[in-house]
């Protein structure tokens, strides 16, 4: 036994070549996630001269910045809730509604494309569609006699930006919640029917409680996705809407309002909020996976 143990202790260890496949990801995460985050934390507590200061953090409690955070949270929450509800309804109709398989594949393929369609192209598309001279606006005014702008709608306002965010929020919800909907076994609904339960009772006592953890986790993901969006909001509203991402851009790249330290503090606050949302998503998603197994 001792001879075998000595041979085992003196034998060279094998290099885990499989682990080398993770190296590019680790390098990418360090360069583009951890290092920028550390730079933001350092910049949030540094003044223009490079000295330690708390003025940047104290600047976050000014009325303008608090209002920007509040508007961003409201827009993110509204687009996340509406996107989650609409996306769940569409996913249930596609997967549980016995629609043809090619139609489901086409919708899911489109969702994968639409969930990544944002920025200037998305803003231009909505301006061309729902702007004051947009195609849908003109059709509603000339054909149906409905002037959405006289009714209070404004594409450059709160609901206009929320509606624009729904274009990529709904597809993202569909892609994320589809595995959970697929996990609802048909035997459960058949057993409920055999026991005399109606369809509403099945969804109330079985279907929705099972989907609830996945729904809540995806809701957190949608909130974080909307809260960090900047390209679409900047291209669509510019400085007309005081949201935190636009304010951050003005502090870092602007001419009159440039203050990199305050911009770093704004970014740090955004990281804290989105991190909380992502932690909620990961925690709930892990519990949902255990439940579905």
Distance (Å, rounded) from C-alpha 257 to C-alpha 262? 10
Would you state the structure tokens that stand for residue 102, as one six-digit string?
């090619």
Element (H, E) at 40: helix 35-44
* Residues above pLDDT 70, as percent of the chain: 90
At 200-219, the pLDDT tens digits run 888 888 888 888 888 988 89
Where do we find the tokens 């440039």? Answer: 258
Per-chain mean pLDDT for the chain: 84
Q: Report which of residues 219 and 251 the model is more confident about.
A: 219
CA distance 250 to 150: 31
Summarize the confidence of residues 176-192 as an average pLDDT: 84
Q: What is the pLDDT of residue 183?
A: 82
Whole-Å CA distances, 166 to 128, 208, 266: 17, 23, 25
User: Model confidence over 74-83: pLDDT tens digits?
Assistant: 999 999 999 9
Domains of the chain are 60-292 (1.10.3720.10)
pLDDT of 289 strictly over 90: no
- Looking at the chain, the whole-number percentage of residues with pLDDT higher than 90 is 27
Instruction: Average the pLDDT over each of 150-154, 172-176, 277-281 and give the range with the smallest value.
Output: 277-281
* Two structure tokens written together for 75: 């827009």
The residue-averaged pLDDT of 44-58 equals: 86
More confident residue, 189 or 130: 130
């Amino acid at each position: 036994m001792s001879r075998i143990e000595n041979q085992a202790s003196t034998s060279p260890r094998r290099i885990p070549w499989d682990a080398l496949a993770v190296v590019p990801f680790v390098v990418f995460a360090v360069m583009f996630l951890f290092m920028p985050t550390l730079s933001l934390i350092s910049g949030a507590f540094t003044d223009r001269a490079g000295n330690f200061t708390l003025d940047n953090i104290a600047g976050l409690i000014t009325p303008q910045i608090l209002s920007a955070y509040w508007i961003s949270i409201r827009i993110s929450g509204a687009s996340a809730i509406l996107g989650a509800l609409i996306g769940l309804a569409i996913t249930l109709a596609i997967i549980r509604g016995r629609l043809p398989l090619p139609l489901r594949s086409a919708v899911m393929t489109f969702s994968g494309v639409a969930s990544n369609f944002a920025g200037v192209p998305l803003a231009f598309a909505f301006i061309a569609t729902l702007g004051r001279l947009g195609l849908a606006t003109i059709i509603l005014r000339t054909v149906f006699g409905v002037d959405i702008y006289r009714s209070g709608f404004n594409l450059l306002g709160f609901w206009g930006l929320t509606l624009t965010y729904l274009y990529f929020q709904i597809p993202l919800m569909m892609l994320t919640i589809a595995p959970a909907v697929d996990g609802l076994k048909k035997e459960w609904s058949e057993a409920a029917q055999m026991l005399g339960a109606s369809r509403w009772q099945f969804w109330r006592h079985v279907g929705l409680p099972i989907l609830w953890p996945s729904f809540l986790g995806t809701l957190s993901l949608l909130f974080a996705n909307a809260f960090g969006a900047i390209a679409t909001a900047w291209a669509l509203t510019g400085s007309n809407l005081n949201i935190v991402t636009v304010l951050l851009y003005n502090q870092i790249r602007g001419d009159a309002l440039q203050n990199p330290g305050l911009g770093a503090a704004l970014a740090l606050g955004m990281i804290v909020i989105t991190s909380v949302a992502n932690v909620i998503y990961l925690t709930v998603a892990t519990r949902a996976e255990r439940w579905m197994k």
